[in-house]
Amino acid sequence: MKLFLDTASIEEIRTANDWGVLGGVTTNPSLLAKERESPESVWKEILTEVPGDVSLEVTALDADGMAEQGRRLAQMGPNAIVKVPMTPAGLEAAHALHADGIRTNFTLVFSPAQAILAAEAGGYCVSPFLGRLDDVGADGMAALRSICDIYAVQGYDTNVLAASLRHPMHVIESALAGADIATMPFAVFKQLVKHPLTDSGLEKFAADWKALHGELEKGA
Ligand code: E4P
């Protein structure tokens, strides 16, 4: 399972990239709004910084507008994926984009039914939003598991991109369910590496090493 960052912050992207485990990036209009810079310049910087796929979201609400915007976004880099919402207009726009050979990521997906549509429409990725389902008292992980099972039974090759992940267990369970990609905020990315036993173990190794050298110096 590839690990993606769900951010438009170039600093966060650079840090995760330095760890050598960043598979790609997903952005959305809310994340770009946080950066308070021109979206075009932020997108360009991310596309250059990250070798993997970067999802750039359309903001038009009608099919023609989405398709036109999607064509422009796709031209920004070979690793650009056009994010379209799972709506009738989004499906129509994706159909037009696929005819031009442009890869799409269906976003705001909340049900297995919508995920079937995304696959039948030839989406490159489908993004079920786990955390937002949990927020309304539904079971986001159960929806993801069903989507992964349906895709396996049907032989769909659309990539399942587990999105709206809020904590490390979401990431672990997504991997177990068979998701192809998990996208998460930087805070969750950092939590993946943390374990108190790693920290205390490291402290103990360092202390024992120092003590050994102290004894050797005394004996010399
Ligand atoms: C995915 O592509 C979305 O940008 C994202 O995961 C949404 O997450 P949120 O529910 O934390 O905003």
pTM summary value: 0.95
Please work out whether the CB of residue 107 comes within 6 Å of at least one atom of ligand 1: yes
Please tell me the distance between residue 6's alpha carbon and the centre of ligand 1 in angstroms: 7
Kindly report the average pLDDT of the chain as a whole number.
97
- The residue whose C-alpha atom lies closest to atom 9 belonging to ligand 1 is 164
Atom of ligand 1 nearest to the CA of 184: 6
The residue whose two tokens read 């596309």 is 47
pLDDT at residue 1 in the model? 98
Kindly give, in sequence order, each residue whose CB lies less than 8 Å from that of residue 7, ignoring residues fewer than 6 positions away.
Answer: 13, 25, 27, 31, 185, 186
- The residue whose C-alpha atom lies closest to atom 1 belonging to ligand 1 is 163
List the Cα angle 191/180/73 in 5-degree steps.
95
Q: Which of the four pLDDT bands, split at 50, 70 and 90, describes residue 220? A: confident
Q: Which of the four pLDDT bands, split at 50, 70 and 90, describes residue 219? A: confident
HEC string of 90-143 equals HHHHHHHHHHCCCCEEEEEECCHHHHHHHHHCCCCEEEEEHHHHHHCCCCHHHH
pLDDT at residue 201 in the model? 98
Question: Is 10 a residue whose pLDDT tops 90?
Answer: yes
Work out the percent of the chain whose per-residue pLDDT is above 90.
99
Question: Is 166 a residue whose pLDDT tops 90?
Answer: yes
Please work out whether the CB of residue 174 comes within 6 Å of at least one atom of ligand 1: no
Kindly give, in sequence order, each residue whose CB lies less than 8 Å from that of residue 103, ignoring residues fewer than 6 positions away.
Answer: 53, 74, 81, 82, 124, 125
218 is an active site residue: no
Give the CA count within 13 Å in the CB-facing half-sphere of 159: 18
Please work out whether the CB of residue 186 comes within 6 Å of at least one atom of ligand 1: no
Active-site residue (options: 2, 34, 44, 83): 83
- The residue whose C-alpha atom lies closest to atom 8 belonging to ligand 1 is 164
Atom of ligand 1 nearest to the CA of 163: 6
- The residue whose C-alpha atom lies closest to atom 11 belonging to ligand 1 is 164
pLDDT in tens, 27-76: 999 999 999 999 999 999 999 999 999 999 999 999 999 999 999 999 99
Which one, of 70, 111, 106, 110, lies nearest residue 88 by Cα?
Answer: 106
